[in-house]
Amino acid sequence: MLPLGDAPAENITDIDVASEMETSFLEYAYSVIYSRALPDARDGLKPVQRRILYMMSDMGLRPDRAHVKSARVVGEVMGKLHPHGDAAIYDAMVRMAQDFSLRLPLIDGHGNFGSLDDGPAAPRYTEARMAAAALALTDDLDEDVVDFVPNYDGQLMQPEVLPAAFPSLLVNGATGIAVGMATNMAPHNLAEVVSAAQLVIANPEATLEEVMELVPGPDLPSGGRIVGLDGIRDAYRTGRGSFRTRGTVAVEQLSARRTGLVVTELPYTIGPEKVIEKIKDAVGSKKLQGISDVVDLTDRNHGLRLVIELKNGFNPHAVLEQLYRYTPLEDSFGINNVALVDGQPQTLGLLELLRVYADHRISVVRRRTAFRLGKRKDRLHLVEGLLVAIMDIDEVIQIIRTSDEAAAARERLMAVYDLSEIQANYILELRLRQLTKYSRIELEKEQDELRREIEELEAILGSDLLLRELVSRELGEMAAKYGTPRRTVLLESEARPASAALAASDGGEAKKASGKAPALALEIADEPCWAILSASGVIARTASGDPLAEGGPRMKHDVFRSVVRTTARGELGAVTSAGRMVRLQAVDFPVLAQTAGLPNLAGGVPAKDFVTLEKGETLVALVPLDTVFSLGTEQGIVKRVAPDYPLNREDWEAITLKAGDRVIGAAPAADEDSLVFITEQAQLLHYPASSVRPQGRLAGGMAGVKLADGDKALFFGVIGSGDGSAVVVTIAGSRGALPGTAPGTAKVTPFDEYPAKGRATGGVRSHRYLKGEDVLLVAWAGHGPAKASSTAGVARSLPNEHGRRDGSGVPLSQGIEEVGPSFG
C-alpha cells in the first residue's frame, strides 16, 4: 500500500476525439481491405485462403495423401498464420471445397460441406486435403519464386503471394465486403481464360476486343444461361457491369394430361429450396397462376431436377415468364472487379486483370529459373572439385591423414589442387563409403548434364521471348490438365420458342412502340385446331393448320384413323368398340410439331392414358360433342347419335349393343353425307345419312346392312357429299392363311362407281376373289391411301384405280411394300 499522504502520479493526456477516431478507423479500414476482404490480383486469393493453402501444403495434405480433420487444419492456420476466429477460417475453407461456389475447387472435402440451401457440418465432423488444382497454386514455393513476410507475431514466415500456375481470380471469381468498397467477380472457364492469358503474354499490346473473342463471358459453376451480354462487355471494359442469369428449364409432358416445367440448372448461388419457397409465396399471393405443384427430385445420381407441374389450359411459356419475373429462376449478378494491385485496391477490367497475372507469372518463372540456375551452378562447382579429387584419391586421403586438424587439411587441399573453400569442405565432409559411388564416368556424365541445363536456363533468362514461351506453355499444360467444357450458355438476347413467337405475333405494333416483345397470354387461347387419333392409338392435337393437306411431307411413323376439327379448349368424345363414349378435353392433348402442314405424331401420347379400356376393348374414333355422328357395328347395325349427352358424367353409353357385337367405326355425318358398310364377303353398301334418323344415346340403332350367314361388317365410314376423290380399297386373302403370310390381291376403285342402295340391303359386290381367296382382310373407303417413303414424301403403295368395281385385284407382290388406310 502507498503511504498515507502520497497521492498517485497522474498522467492524463488530452487528445482530440475526432482525430483519434479518424486514425483508429483508418487503421481498421486498411486492415479489412488489405488483410481480410479483398483478393490479390496476382494469385486471386484473400489472405485467409492463401494461408489455408500454404499451411495445408506445409502439412503435406496432398491429393495422394489421406484426408485429415478439418479442425486440425483450422487450428494450424489460426495458431500460426491467421490471428482471427476459427469460424472465419472454416467458412473460407468450406467455400474452397464447394463445387457450386468455385468453378475449380481448391480443397478436396470429405463429409458434409454444405449445399446452396444448408450450411456445412462442424469442422470436427469433416475432413479435407488439397485438391489437385491447389498444387498448381503452391508449387515451386521452395524455389524463391515469391517473397516471404513474417506472420502476425514474427516467429514464422509466410508467402506474400502464391506462385499461381493458373489465373485463379478469373477462374474462380471472388466476393468480399470491405470498408467503403466491395468486390464481386464472376467465375470463368479455365481453358478460355488461359487462351486469353497466352494471347496477352505473346502480345502485350493485345486489345480488349481480341481478348473477348477468347473469353466471351463468365462460365458459372451451376451452368444456366446468361441473357444479354452488354453488361458483360461493360464489366470487361471498365470493371463494373451486370448481367442476368437464368436457370435451364424445359417443357416436358409429365403425363398424358399434365405438362410441367423441369428445371435442371439454377442461377449462380441460388438453391432449389429458395426457388420453391418463392414459388409458393407467389402462388399464395396470386402473383403466379397456372402452377399446381412443385416437386424437388434432386439426388446425387441425377443432379438437380425441380419439377413444376402446370394446370391444364395454361401456356407453359407464359408461366415460365412469370417465374422469371417473380422467383429466383432469373437473378442478376453485378460485377465489381476490385482487387489489390501492389497493395492498393483497384477496379480492373478484363485486360488489366490478365496483364497483372501475366506479369506476376513471368516474374515467378524468372525467379524460379534464376534459382534453378544458381543451384545447378553450385552443384557443378562441387562436381568439378570431386573430379579433381577423384583423379588422385590416394594422395587426397594421405593429405587428410597427415593433417593435424580439419582446417589444416582444408588449406593443404586448396593449395595442392587449387580448390575453393566450398569444394574442399565438401570433400572433407564425404564419408569413405561415399567415395565408392563417385566414379569418374558418372561424375563426368553429371557434369555434362549440368552444363547443358545451365546453358538452357541462361538462355531463358537472357531472352524475354523464350521466357514468355515457357510461361505460355506451362499455362497450356494447366488448361489441358484441369480444363472442362463450358457450362453456361451465353445468349445475346432473350430467345422465345416458336409457339411463343406465334402467340405474340399480333402485338407487332406494340413491340415497335415500346421496344419490348409483348407478353405472352397466360392461358391457352381457344383457337381452332385438329384432334388426331392414329391407327396405333396415339392421341394429339395440332397447333393450327390442316393435317389433311395433300402433297406435303409425311413422317414415316403412323396413319390417321380419326381427325376432328375442334378448338384448343373444346370438348371431344372418344368412341370405343364397346359402344362407350368418353368425354375428353382438347387442351389435355399434347401439341404436335408441324412442318409444311403435316404434323409429326411422334409427339403424341397413347390413348390408354386418356381412356381406361376394358380387356378386349379398343378406341375406335374421336367425334365432336356438338354435332350428330354416325357409328356402325360388326353385326351391321347403324346409328346416328343425337348430341344430348349428360353434362355431369365423363363417360356414357353411345349405343346399346347386342351380345357379341362391337363398334367398328364412327364419324360425324350430315344428312347429305353417305354411310358406307363393307363386309368380309366383299359386299359394299352405301346410302344417304338422311335415311337414318338421329336417336338418343341409349337407343340400339337400326339395321344398316343385310349380312349373309357367316358374314360380318369389316368397315364402316362416312363419305362427304360431292367428294369425287374418294376411293374404295379392298385386300383379299385366305381365311386359313398362317399369321404373317402376305395377303393375295389388292384393289383400288373410285367410290363413284358403286351405286347407292337402300338401307338394310345387301349392297353390291366390291371384289372378285381369285383362286385361294375367300375373304376380305382389309376394307376401307375414303381419300386415296398412301404410305410414307424413306424421304418423308408421300408415295402411293396400292395400284392405280383400275378395272370394274366387281373385278379382281392386283397381286400385292407387284411392288407394293405397305398397305394401310391413311387419311390424307
Name which CATH class applies to 627-824. mainly beta
Measured in whole angstroms, how far is the alpha carbon of residue 465 from the centre of its chain? 42
pLDDT at 806: 59
* pLDDT score of 520 more than 80: no
Given the DSSP bridges, would you call strands 651-653 and 683-688 parallel, antiparallel or unpaired?
Answer: unpaired
Q: Do the strands 637-641 and 694-695 form a parallel or antiparallel pair, or are they unpaired?
A: parallel
The DSSP call for residue 525 is: P
Q: Residue written as cell 387419333?
A: 533
pLDDT attached to residue 622: 92
Look at residues 44, 716, 789, 129 and name the one whose alpha carbon lies nearest to residue 357.
44
**Grid-cell match 411463343, residue found:** 500
Catalytic site residue from 54, 125, 268, 357: 125
Q: What is the pLDDT of residue 824?
A: 31
Among 415, 434, 432, 423, CA closest to 389 = 423
Closest Cα partner for 170 from 232, 241, 218? 218
Residue whose C-alpha is closest to residue 438's, from 392, 472, 484, 390: 390
What does the alpha-carbon distance between residue 167 and residue 181 come to, in Å, rounded to a whole number?
23
Joined grid coordinates for residue 388: 579433381
pLDDT (tens digit per residue) in 90-123: 999 999 999 999 999 999 999 999 998 889 999 9
Q: Which three cell numbers stand for residue 405?
A: 586438424
pLDDT of residue 224: 92
Helix then strand then coil, in percent of the chain rounded to 5, is: 35, 25, 45
Is the Cα dihedral 470, 473, 477, 479 positive or negative? positive
Least confident of 277-281, 417-421, 768-772: 768-772
Strand partners, 637: 703
Q: What is the mean pLDDT of residues 227-242?
A: 93
CB 702 within 8 A of CB 637: yes
Distance of alpha carbon 206 from alpha carbon 211, whole angstroms: 7
| Residue 259: predicted pLDDT | 84
Statement: residue 575 has pLDDT above 70: yes
Q: What is the dihedral of CA 263, 268, 269, 275, to 10 degrees?
A: -30
pLDDT for residue 816 = 40
**With contact defined as beta carbons under 8 Å apart, do 106 and 159 qualify?**
no
**pLDDT reported for residue 529:** 85
β-pairing verdict for 702-703 and 637-641: antiparallel
For residue 391, count other CB atoms closer than 10 A to its CB: 11
Residue 551 pLDDT > 60 = no
Q: Considering only residues 587 and 448, tell me which one the structure prediction assigns the higher pLDDT.
A: 448
pLDDT (tens digit, 9 = 90+) per residue, 752-801? 889 999 999 999 998 888 888 888 888 888 875 544 333 333 344 445 54
Q: How distant is the alpha carbon of residue 772 from its chain centre? A: 60
55: Cβ contacts below 8 Å, ≥ 6 apart: 73, 76, 77, 80, 81
**Grid cell digits, residue 132:** 489437385
Mean pLDDT of all residues in 78-90: 92
Q: Give the three-class secondary structure for 780.
A: strand
CB of 219 within 8 A of CB of 103?
Answer: yes
Percent of the chain with pLDDT strictly greater than 70: 84
pLDDT at 729: 87
pLDDT bracket for residue 501 (50, 70, 90)? very low
Answer for the pair 174, 47: CB distance below 8 angstroms, yes or no.
no
Nearest in space to 45 (alpha carbons), one of 169, 193, 166: 169
State the virtual CA torsion across 733, 735, 739, 745 in degrees, nearest 10: 0
Which one is predicted more confidently, 400 or 723?
400
Which carries the bigger pLDDT value, residue 187 or residue 393?
Answer: 187
Query: According to the model, what pLDDT value does residue 498 have?
Result: 42
Q: How far is CA 162 from CA 58, 60, 103, 124, 564, in A?
A: 13, 17, 19, 28, 72
What number is the average pLDDT over the span 618-622?
Answer: 90
pLDDT at residue 502 is higher than 50 = no
Distance of alpha carbon 468 from alpha carbon 474, whole angstroms: 10
pLDDT (tens digit, 9 = 90+) per residue, 310-353?
A: 988 788 888 998 999 999 999 999 999 999 998 889 999 999 99
Q: Sorting pLDDT into bands at 50, 70 and 90, what band is 3?
A: low
482 is catalytic: no
**CA-derived radius of gyration, the chain:** 43
State how far the Cα of 435 lies from the Cα of 616, in Å rounded to an integer: 98
User: pLDDT > 90: what percent of the chain?
Assistant: 50
Q: For residue 544, which of 586, 575, 509, 483 has the smallest C-alpha distance?
A: 586
Three-class DSSP labels, 713-756: EEEEEEECCCCCCCEEEEEEECCCCCCCCCCCEEEEEEHHHCCC
| The pLDDT of residue 504 is above 50 | no
Read off the pLDDT band of 56 (50, 70, 90). very high
What pLDDT does residue 598 have?
Answer: 59
Q: What rounded mean pLDDT belongs to the chain?
A: 84
Q: What is the CATH architecture of 32-164? A: Alpha-Beta Complex (3.90)
Q: What is the predicted pLDDT for the residue at 823?
A: 35
**The predicted structure's pLDDT at residue 787:** 42
Whether the pLDDT of residue 597 is over 70: the answer is no
Residue 566 near residue 531, CB atoms below 8 Å: yes
Q: Which three cell numbers stand for residue 759?
A: 338401307
What residues have CB less than 8 Å from 263, skipping those under 6 apart? 247, 248, 249, 272, 275, 304, 305, 306, 307, 308, 329
Q: What is the pLDDT of residue 235?
A: 95
User: Is the pLDDT score of 511 beyond 70?
Assistant: no
Contacts with 682 (C-beta within 8 Å, 6 or more apart), sequence order: 730, 732, 765, 766, 767, 768, 769, 776, 779
Mean pLDDT computed over 25-35: 66
> 561 or 153: which carries more pLDDT confidence?
153
pLDDT for 9 beyond 80: no
H or E element, residue 269:
none
CA 463 to chain centre: 46
Residue among 510, 467, 281 at smallest CA distance from 373: 467
Q: Could you tell me which residues come within 8 angstroms of residue 62 by beta carbon, excluding any fewer than 6 positions away?
A: 129, 130, 135
Kindly give the pairing relationship between strand 225-227 and strand 489-491: parallel
Nearby residues of 756 by Cβ (< 8 Å), 6 or more positions away? 674, 686, 687, 688
What pLDDT sits at residue 29?
65
The predicted structure's pLDDT at residue 100: 92
- Nearest 5°: CA angle at 384, between 380 and 389? 145
Range with the lowest mean pLDDT among 192-201, 521-530, 665-674? 521-530
Q: Is the pLDDT of residue 600 over 80?
A: no
The one-letter amino acid at 2: L
Phi (first) and psi of residue 16, to 5 degrees = -85, 115
CA distance 227 to 230: 9
- pLDDT at residue 55 is higher than 90: yes
Residue bearing the bigger pLDDT, 19 or 297: 297
Q: Quote the crossing angle between the two packed helices 421-429 and 350-391, to the nearest 10°.
A: 70
Are 356 and 239 in contact by the 8 Å Cβ rule? The answer is: no
For residue 809, how far is the Cα from the chain centroid?
56
Multiple choice CATH, 245-336, 3.10.620.30, 3.90.1170.40, 3.30.1360.40, 3.20.20.10:
3.30.1360.40
Confidence at 503, pLDDT banded by 50, 70, 90: very low
| Residue 457 pLDDT greater than 80, yes or no | yes
- The pLDDT score that the predictor gives to residue 447 is 93
Contact 775, 734 (CB under 8 A): yes
- Which pLDDT value is given to residue 545? 55
Tell me the β-bridge partners of 291. 310
Q: In the chain, where are the structural domains located?
A: 32-164, 245-336, 526-624, 627-824
User: 561 pLDDT band (50/70/90 cuts)?
Assistant: confident
Grade residue 513 by pLDDT with cuts at 50, 70 and 90: very low
What would the pLDDT profile of 663-717 be if each residue is shown by its tens digit? 999 999 888 899 999 999 999 999 999 999 999 888 889 999 999 998 999 999 9
Residue in 293, 328, 446, 442 with CA at minimum distance from that of residue 376: 446
The grid cell for 216 is 466471351
